[in-house]
């Protein structure tokens, strides 16, 4: 790939130029803002832009970089322009979650991961579009507008972190943070030809991430290559006392993760139970070719099965909506967010939530509330939690024999805007391969492994045992270095 603008650089390429002094943070940020100006009227990745603040941060980064040169110190993301999914709290900046009910909400604090990006020197460009409260697989459920896929403007970018993925793919940010509840980092990364990483549950703090489903939500990076994803993970990971689900600090050996192309001695489990779930032929061909590449790199390929994963869709759509029903109860028109005009308290609740929430959020809240009702709780929610345990045990059994598991990220490539809106089940099936890892709390990564006949990217998903992100990144990096899929960029043809 020939880089025609600094906006198309990876983070590590940009850092090298910044360190050499051949590129300034201001020039880099200006290039990205110019790309946003020329393309985002069509892509529509951003809900909120902060150009003045970003340029001010970039100027400060240039000054700091010159000062640090004399001391030999450095900051890993100094002067790098990044984007944030709009369900991450940002002090003084609107955080809408893609919902009318929070349209005017401005948090008084930063999410922990945002604080860590700032401490690492990042330049924050703005907040990206998402499915309302992260409930969706296409970013069409945003209350404001849908986001378009830079590879094909008539297609969705995936969801719910579709704005973050589209921004990175279009060169409107060098990388971005998203959140992954059932696949919302990995699936849009696959649809947009990027690397998307869901860390082990508890690896990254959820403090300041507006909750959808608390036992599932995790923050994760969306980047142009594995190196950048690893760098972002190393910045945002780590224990946080403000998050009761945050795990104690566990080592992340980035040097090991990104060294060497040799996979000899590694056992890679290949999922064989994908028949009957509508895998697109082009997806199957690309994934099988990727399996051959891993074998060529020396890995031993072993067929594995996850027999209870067939229940993952049903399990997820009981557990996640049930937790959402509890989490979104706080949006009642009394404390913050949208407040409807009403004469009685009951009318206030009904009108505020009826007018403030969109159709998909209402659908999931009704599902979750039903699952938690007396008389249904044992037959639905408890059964789903029991099945979740079986899914986790399937992974434990598989990892007794293999080091990582490989398969498709999504059964399909990006579908057309509007194609699945009237059929929720078909929309939910786009995440069929990303739900089991979320339910089991495991780290998983999607990276590009090919394209379909229309030039749309195909994603390969790798899964590792809990807290084995180093192993996951090592295999992904080895595959990436043996192929060139990650170097391709969409040919943006914008109206502006």
Name 195's bridge partners: 223
Cα 418 from Cα 210, distance rounded (Å): 27
Cα 256 from Cα 258, distance rounded (Å): 6
Please count the CA atoms within 13 angstroms of the CA of 178 that sit on its side-chain side: 40
Q: Based on the residue annotation, tell me whether 184 is a catalytic residue of this protein.
A: yes
Tokens of 403: 């080091």
Cα 186 from Cα 192, distance rounded (Å): 10
- Asked if residue 212 lies in contact with residue 75, where contact means CB atoms within 8 angstroms, the answer is no
Cα 148 from Cα 461, distance rounded (Å): 23
Cα 443 from Cα 403, distance rounded (Å): 13
State the catalytic residue, choosing from 24, 85, 142, 246. 85
Peptide bond connecting 334 to the previous residue in cis, omega within 30 degrees of 0 = no
State the catalytic residue, choosing from 184, 205, 246, 309. 184
Give the CA distances from residue 141 to residues 321, 363, 394, in Å, rounded to whole numbers and listed in that order: 16, 12, 33
Q: Based on the residue annotation, tell me whether 160 is a catalytic residue of this protein.
A: yes
Nearest to 496 by CA among 169, 70, 36: 36
Nearest to 93 by CA among 118, 75, 76, 65: 118
State the catalytic residue, choosing from 138, 160, 164, 234. 160
Tokens of 436: 């089991």
Cα 125 from Cα 32, distance rounded (Å): 9
**CB atoms closer than 10 angstroms to residue 345:** 11
Give me the active site residues, please. 85, 160, 184
């Amino acid at each position: 790939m020939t880089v025609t603008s600094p906006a198309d650089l990876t983070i590590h390429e940009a850092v090298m130029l910044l360190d050499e002094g051949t590129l300034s943070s201001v020039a880099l940020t200006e290039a990205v803002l110019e790309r946003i100006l020329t393309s985002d009227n069509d892509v529509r990745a951003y809900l909120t832009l902060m150009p003045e603040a970003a340029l001010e941060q970039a100027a400060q980064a240039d000054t700091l970089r010159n000062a640090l040169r004399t001391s030999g110190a450095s900051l890993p993301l100094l002067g790098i322009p990044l984007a944030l999914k709009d369900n991450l709290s940002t002090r003084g900046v609107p955080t809408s979650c893609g919902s009318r009910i929070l349209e005017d909400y401005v948090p008084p604090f930063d999410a922990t991961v945002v604080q860590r990006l700032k401490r690492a020197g990042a330049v924050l460009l703005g907040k990206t579009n998402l499915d309302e409260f992260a409930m969706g697989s296409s970013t069409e459920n945003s209350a404001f507008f849908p986001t378009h896929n830079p590879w094909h403007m008539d297609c969705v970018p995936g969801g719910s972190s579709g704005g973050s993925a589209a921004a990175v793919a279009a060169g409107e940010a060098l990388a971005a943070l998203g959140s992954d509840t059932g696949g919302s980092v990995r699936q849009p990364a696959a649809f947009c030809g990027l690397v998307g990483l869901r860390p082990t549950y508890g690896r990254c703090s959820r403090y300041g991430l507006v909750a959808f489903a608390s036992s599932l939500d995790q923050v994760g990076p969306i980047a142009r290559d594995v190196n950048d994803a690893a760098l972002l993970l190393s910045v945002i990971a780590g224990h946080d006392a403000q998050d009761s689900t945050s795990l104690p600090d566990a080592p992340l050996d980035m040097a090991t993760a990104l060294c060497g192309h040799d996979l000899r001695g590694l056992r890679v489990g290949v999922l064989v139970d994908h028949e009957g779930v509508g895998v697109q032929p082009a997806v199957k061909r690309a994934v099988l070719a990727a399996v051959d590449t891993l074998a060529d790199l020396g890995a031993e390929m072993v067929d594995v099965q996850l027999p209870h994963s067939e229940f993952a869709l049903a399990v997820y759509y009981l557990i996640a909506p049930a937790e959402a029903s509890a989490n979104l109860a706080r949006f009642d028109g009394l404390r913050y967010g949208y407040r409807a005009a009403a004469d009685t308290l009951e009318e206030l609740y009904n009108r505020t939530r009826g007018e403030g929430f969109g159709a998909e959020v209402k659908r999931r809240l009704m599902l979750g509330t039903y699952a938690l009702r007396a008389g249904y709780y044992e037959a639905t929610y408890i059964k789903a939690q029991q099945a979740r345990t079986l899914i986790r045990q399937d992974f434990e059994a598989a990892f007794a024999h293999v080091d990582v598991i490989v398969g498709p990220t999504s059964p399909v490539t990006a579908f057309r805007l509007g194609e699945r809106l009237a059929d929720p089940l078909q929309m939910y099936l786009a995440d069929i391969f990303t739900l089991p890892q979320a339910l089991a709390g495991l780290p998983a990564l999607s990276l590009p492994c090919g394209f379909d006949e229309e030039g749309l990217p195909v994603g390969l998903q790798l899964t590792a045992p809990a807290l084995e992100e180093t192993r996951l990144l090592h295999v992904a990096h080895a595959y990436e270095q043996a192929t060139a899929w990650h170097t391709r960029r969409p040919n943006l043809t914008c109206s502006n």
